[in-house]
């Protein structure tokens, strides 16, 4: 049987990516549709996409597919033809990154999961077929002029922090599964108002719109293709962008610039900044916002503690890192979580969805 996963080290793969001379295009897409045998579908995808030198992260489940990938420009049409050869995916909208250096991914990972977006929904009567109405960029802009329209950001707090739509309501949580019941509770007195849900690429807000309808809301909409597609339509049609700042993305870029506005602040010094970084201390790896000055001062670390730790001999660092949970930590001001302590357990995972 052919090897259907990568066996080269991450370091080597990243080096090979930066040696490539052919430009790459970063793409995200998703589709809710029934997959009877996710494992077989996953293996078929891997075989064909690896041959096309596709890199990225793809989740497959009984409920559909969720993907963030990069494709060599010369293979783009062949990739699209292969994807569209599946009837449920034929003509599927592909979200093309708006601020892309082609270095978003350096390995192909395709995983089978219980769901393509972790939602925590256990109600068997919930049905994704009953979802909200799509709105495009122009329609969203028009609806935002209505003071009675409620716009809900279905992304995590660290995504909202660096960029969001004007008037957008934040649902303060680290995970989508927590946000769904929170959104219902926050909007319980607005069941007859126009409610627009949005997210990065559309997958979370589409499910959120169905969840809201399931709980008795009447006029629910969701942004088609999410922020990525909105930014594309704004650029193509010369529209005013009602999204300000940066769109956080779950790849090596950690963000794509939508407007010049910087609405966040450095988590270390408090000066305006919106560049996310992972702490250079591998025993911490905190995701946080860091300005250029602090990056130089702390050598890419989130604290003096982590900076000092990185100066220890390698063997001593390895010894101290033993037993540390490798899950990603995130700066969470809503919970006053400034940074993890070295060796701290119970680190919080983040949703890596569109």
Known catalytic residues are 199
Across-strand partners of 108? 56
**Residue 53 DSSP label:** T
Q: b/e string for 13-23 if b means 16 or more Cβ within 10 A?
A: eeeebeeeeee
Alpha-carbon distances, residue 53 vs 89, 97, 102, 106 (angstroms): 20, 18, 13, 10
User: What is the secondary structure of 287-344 as a DSSP string?
Assistant: EEE--HHHHHHTTT-SSHHHHHHHTS-HHHHHHHHTT---SPPB-BGGGTB--PPTT-
Q: Give the H or E element holding residue 13.
A: helix 10-19
Token look-up 């701290």 returns 344
Q: What is the CA radius of gyration of the chain?
A: 21
**Residue 130 DSSP label:** S
What is the longest distance spanned by two Cα atoms in the chain? 62
Q: b/e string for 91-100 if b means 16 or more Cβ within 10 A?
A: eeebbbbbeb
- Both tokens assigned to 315: 């063997």
């Amino acid at each position: 049987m052919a090897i259907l996963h990568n066996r080269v080290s991450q370091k080597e793969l990243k080096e090979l990516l930066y040696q490539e001379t052919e430009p790459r295009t970063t793409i995200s897409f998703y589709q809710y549709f029934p997959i009877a045998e996710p494992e077989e579908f996953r293996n078929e995808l891997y075989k064909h996409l690896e041959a096309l030198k596709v890199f990225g992260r793809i989740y497959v489940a009984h409920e559909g597919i969720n993907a963030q990938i990069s494709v060599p420009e010369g293979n783009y049409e062949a990739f699209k033809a292969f994807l569209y050869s599946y009837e449920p995916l034929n003509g599927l909208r592909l979200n093309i990154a708006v601020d892309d250096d082609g270095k978003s991914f350096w390995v192909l990972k395709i995983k089978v999961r219980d769901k393509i977006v972790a939602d925590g929904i256990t109600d068997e009567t919930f049905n994704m077929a009953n979802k909200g109405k799509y709105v495009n960029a122009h329609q969203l802009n028009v609806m935002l002029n209505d003071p009675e329209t409620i716009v809900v950001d279905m992304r995590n707090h660290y995504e909202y922090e660096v960029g969001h739509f004007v008037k957008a309501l934040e649902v303060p949580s680290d995970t989508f599964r927590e946000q769904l019941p929170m959104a219902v509770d926050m909007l319980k007195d607005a069941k007859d108002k126009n409610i627009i849900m949005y997210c990065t690429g559309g997958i979370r807000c589409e499910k959120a719109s169905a969840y809201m309808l399931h709980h008795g809301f009447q006029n629910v909409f969701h942004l088609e293709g999410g922020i990525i597609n909105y930014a594309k339509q704004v650029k193509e049609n010369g529209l005013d962008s009602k999204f300000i700042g940066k769109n956080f993305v779950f790849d090596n870029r950690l963000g794509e610039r939508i407007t010049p506005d910087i609405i966040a602040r450095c988590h270390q010094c408090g000066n305006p900044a919106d560049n996310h970084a992972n702490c250079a201390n591998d025993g911490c790896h905190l995701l946080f916002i860091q300005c250029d000055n602090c990056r130089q001062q702390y050598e890419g670390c989130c604290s003096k503690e982590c900076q000092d730790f990185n100066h220890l001999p390698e063997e001593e660092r390895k010894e101290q890192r033993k037993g540390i949970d490798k899950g990603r930590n995130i700066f969470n001001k809503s919970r006053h979580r400034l940074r993890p302590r070295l060796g701290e357990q119970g680190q919080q995972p983040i949703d890596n969805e569109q």
